[in-house]
Structure 1
Amino acid sequence: MPRPRSPQSPHSRYREAQKLTVLPLEHDLPAPELPNGRDWSAAEKEQWAALWRTSQSYVWDDSTISAVAALVVYWSAILAGTASSTQHMEYRHLLRALGLTPEGMRALGWVIADE
C-alpha cells in the first residue's frame, strides 16, 4: 500500500484542494444576450442582468449561459407560484453549481475580495 503524502508536500491533493480563487467585488464585464426560444419578461431581463453583475459571474463563461437562463426561468416560476417541486430542486442545485450560495462558493474554492 502506498504511503499517504503529507499535506505539506507540493504534490499533495489536499494542498490543491485548499487553493482559493479570489473573485472581484465588482467587475464591468457585459452580460451576454438572453438566449432565444422564449419571450423574456421585464423582471426576467432584470434578473438576468443582476446575475451577470455578481462577483461569481466574473468566472462564468459561455458554457454557463444556458444554466443561468434556466435559473432565471425557475426563479420566475417560483415567484409566480407555478414551479413544480422539480423546478424548486433544480433551482437550488443551479444556485450551488454557479457558486451563488455560500456552500457553492466553498465547493468551488471561491472567495470574494475585500474592498
Structure 2
Amino acid sequence: MAGLGGFVFSMYLFTPITHEWGWQELLFPQAIRGISQQFAMAPIVTLTLGGIPRERLKLASGVFNLTRNLGGAIGIALCGSILNNRTNFHFSRMGEKMVSVPHTVNDFISRSALFF
C-alpha cells in the first residue's frame, strides 16, 4: 500500500506541470514515483509467482515478464495513436476557426520572402 500511496502522491506533485518546468522541478516527483513503483512491484511479483512450484518458477517468471513488457508496449502504442489522432483533430479544428488573411498581407509576405 505504501508503494501505491507514494505513486498517487507523486502524480499529485505533477498536477501543476507546465512547459516551463526544467529538470529541477521534475527530479523530486520522478524520484518519488520510481521508489514507489519498486515498493508496489515487489508484492505484485510475490502474489503472482508465490504459488508456483519451484521446478516451474523459471518458466512462470519468463511468462510474467513477457506479458508485463508486452502490455507496456501495447499501452504505449495505444497512447501514441490516440495522441496523434487527437492532435490531428485539434489542428483541423483550429484551421476551421482561422480567418483568411487579407490579400494585401499575402502580397507583403510574398514580397518580404523575395527580399530574404
Higher relative contact order (Cα pairs below 8 Å, separated by 6+ residues): 1
Structure of greater Rg? 2
- TM value normalised by structure 1: 0.25
- TM value normalised by structure 2: 0.25
Answer 1 or 2: which has greater strand percent: 1
Answer 1 or 2: which has greater helix percent: 2
